[in-house]
Structure 1
């Protein structure tokens, strides 16, 4: 095969892999009530299905780059597609919630390698002059996947069964695996760095333990005493990692990155601001189906304004940040995101659909602006030397925040639901209202982190030409 065709195949393979990975972060949400009915679970206690996928990705993302360097991009990407497809099959044949959660872990393990290894394959295959168009091309499915995911998940769950949410990955995965094995170039890093296995183990265990402990405290499958113990061990592991990294010659993530003011603020802001907002894709379909009586397809359609407004608002980010600076935009917009989340407590069955759709669209717009500004702030001052490591930390933190946000939202919802009659739609609606107010306040409070930004960042932003990241 000539060089042009090889590049074209690589581009489409990576785009397809990213589409599969991003689709599965949202397609499950609208099908959760249908899954709960089949598996004999409460739809308000299905957060583990989402947490397992996001947490597995957060844990494995730091190792994906080293694996590609060690074994080659083609082998790792092929393995990622195969693992993702096997996980999808196991999800579809799961007979209970525990089996489904375990299968989502396998699926997440494949998904964790699809995104970073796919981007790495492009970086190592495409010449410099074609790199930007290539990266822009593969960014398209990353935006389309979350847009059609809720609609497709709802339609499949209602028209066929929730099993097809996972079965649709099988033909795509089979074709992708064959094409990867045959056409993708196999790139290695001949001067790869040694892998900090001990540091990785500490960090991975710490992230998993903290997330699982918080989920356990919400009352599912774990007593409070073991959950507290697991939380303490998780915190010890994370602290131990950073203490070890400070004296290790080649740590997994260098602590020197945190000397960069914008990186530190951006990363902390990403974590705490997303603790509230990243739980909304989990909460909203449940609200619409469980409390408002929407069908899975209808609830999926109601999520379209969120995604559409989010895509459109990205174009405003550059202008707003250039004119007002990162500090003002992020402080004001973080509070606005929090208040918008809290305003979902006003929704009930008497509100017209157009008013609900308008609120969904406004949330999508301010939330997308928040993500774009936070991501750009985090990466803007890393330079060439720290860009790869910093981007890996950011990707890991985003998936960890998604896991923690669903954990927090599910825990708060469970706490409120204990106070009401589970069989009453109006009472479960009150539980949702309380949850929206709590996570809205949590999100708004994270504006304090962005308030710590140096005023100098505002002046730098006027000449910054990298605002289209994220």
Structure 2
């Protein structure tokens, strides 16, 4: 396959999986209030619908690199899409919160293999000089999910029924499987070695218990005592894994990659940034619907504006990073992103709809630039043969960070609601949550500042020129 064609086709195929995930995520958060009413739950409690998916990711992402090496990236990619589609159908059939959470967990299993293995396919198929161009080809089609998802989910929820939103994934998934069969080689390592089952149990159990415990804090499903106990046990398991990984020959999550400055800044610093940005898709639709009284359709039409801002930034991100470099761009942009998140908390019932739409549009610009830079920088100094193992580490931390954003935002929102003593959720309950998660995005700056001035220079040079 010619290089130029491969640089376009392979990311486009992987974008089908990202499109599925992004549509699914955006239609769900738009429909959360309606789902909560049907399932007899508070809209805040429905954060479990988001975090249960992340728990599925946290359990299975650590082994995605090994599974891809053992069975072939194309085989695993196709199977993952099938599992994700099955989870979607289970979500549509759910009649209780417990069943819905379990269905989202199944989707998480598919997502754990789908997107990370897709990234492995991309970074093993292309030279480093084409990484960021490939990322652009990958993310622009995937951004159509946030463009279409909110208004589509809002329309279906307002005028039809929220269960129908989960059927949107089916034709997309079938297309992704068909394209993978035609255009993706079944690449794998000949000798991936044995799977680190002990490390897998420690890391998966620790992440699951910690995230689930945080999600239960302040809720009504379990007592706060049990929730805190789950958090403590999960934290202890994660600490045990950290000690174990220092001595293991090939741990399931090899933390040695965090010693590489570019990888550390992308993953560790990026995790703080993602906590802030991960909360926005959960908080913003709730603010518009529960706080400002908008319908799901109007809310979706507003929240999709951020995707237009993201797409615009993708058209100039090569020139921005080429002109200012990774380090300076990521530092300044993190501050601007934090400010944009905090501004969301200032919306009131008197704020004009056009102004809200414009703010959300501008708010999509900064995450787009940051994610393009962080995702490309992560692999700048990783040997090609280690990309699969590095992807597992990066993907786990990234996805758990996004889930933590939702969980932290939900906890702050619950505390704010109770302190202010409102009988129902109102617009003034939301600003503390937006301000709190905005601080996490700003907190990524000190980590990025440790990068050398020329970090990612080879990739930045490769980005110059046409996109």
TM-score range, shorter chain: 0.7 to 0.9
Aligned residue for 1:165, secondary structure, equals: helix
Aligned length: 459
1:283 deviation in Å? 0.6
2:453 pairs, out of 455, 458, 464, with: 458
Q: Structure 1: give runs of 5+ residues left out of the alignment.
A: 1-6
**1:421 Cα shift?**
5.1
Distance verdict in 2 for CA 1:11–1:435, change over 3 Å? closer
Name the CA shift for 1:294/1:52 in 2 (closer, same or farther; >3 Å).
same
State the 1:33 CA deviation: 1.1
Provide the rounded CA distance (Å) in 2 between the counterparts of 1:351 and 1:105: 37
Contact 2:146 2:304 in 1 (8 A): no
Report the equivalent of 1:24: 24
Alignment partner of 2:345: what SS? Answer: helix
8 Å CA contact retained: 1:86, 1:107: yes
Residues 439-454 of structure 1: pairs in structure 2 closer than 5 A:
439-451=437-449, 453-454=450-451
Task: State the match for 2:101 in structure 1.
Answer: 101
Q: Is the 8 A contact 1:322 1:461 kept in 2?
A: no
| 1:420-442 C-alpha deviation (Å, 9 max, x unpaired) | 45555xx6211112211222233
Partner of 2:82: 82
Contact kept? 1:372, 1:468, Cα under 8 Å = no
Partner of 2:3: none
SS in 2 for 1:252: coil
Contact 2:312 2:365 in 1 (8 A): yes
Tell whether the 8 Å contact from 1:317 to 1:467 is kept in structure 2 after alignment: no
Provide the C-alpha distance between the structure 2 equivalents of 1:431 and 1:127, rounded to a whole number of angstroms.
Answer: 48
In the TM superposition, what is the alpha-carbon distance from 1:380 to its structure 2 partner? 2.1
**Unaligned segments of structure 2, at least 5 residues:** 1-6
Q: CA deviation at 1:468?
A: 5.8
Task: Please report how far the alpha carbon of residue 327 of structure 1 lies from its aligned counterpart in structure 2 after TM superposition.
Answer: 3.7
Instruction: Look up the match of 1:394.
Output: 394
For 1:188 and 1:160, the matched residues in 2 are separated by 45
Tell me whether 1:245 sits opposite 2:245 in the alignment.
yes
Partners of 1:134 and 1:339 in 2: CA distance: 30
Match of 1:91 in 2: 91
Shift of 1:31: 0.9
Q: Report the equivalent of 1:297.
A: 297
Q: Say which SS state the counterpart of residue 26 (structure 2) adopts.
A: coil
Cα separation, 2, equivalents of 1:41 and 1:378: 40
CA contact (8 A) 2:326 2:455 kept: no
TM alignment of 1:274-353, pairs within 5 A: 274-353=274-353
Measured in 2, the distance between the counterparts of 1:138 and 1:342 equals 29
Deviates more, 1:24-33 or 1:68-77: 68-77
Q: Write the deviation string for residues 371-412 of structure 1: whole angstroms up to 9, x where unpaired.
A: 223333333222434433223322222211111110111111
| Structure 2 SS opposite 1:84 | helix
Q: CA deviation at 1:120?
A: 4.5
Alpha-carbon deviation of 1:48?
Answer: 0.6
Distance 2:459 2:97 in 1: 48
| 1:256 to 1:120, Cα distance in 2 relative to 1, 3 A | closer
Matches within 5 A, 1:15-414: 15-120=15-120, 137-173=137-173, 186-414=186-414
Alpha-carbon offset, residue 121 of structure 1:
5.2
* 1:171 CA drift (Å): 4.4
TM (normalized to structure 2)?
A: 0.87
Q: Which stretch shifts more, 441-450 or 390-399? A: 441-450
- Note the C-alpha offset of 1:165: 1.1
Q: TM-score, normalised by structure 1?
A: 0.87
Q: Quickly say closer, same or farther: Cα 1:29–1:459, change in 2 above 3 A.
A: same
- Secondary structure of the 2:165 match is helix
Aligned to 2:348, the other structure's residue is in SS state coil
Whether contact under 8 Å (2:287, 2:427) holds in the other structure is: yes
Q: Within 2, Cα distance between the matches of 1:272 and 1:12?
A: 29
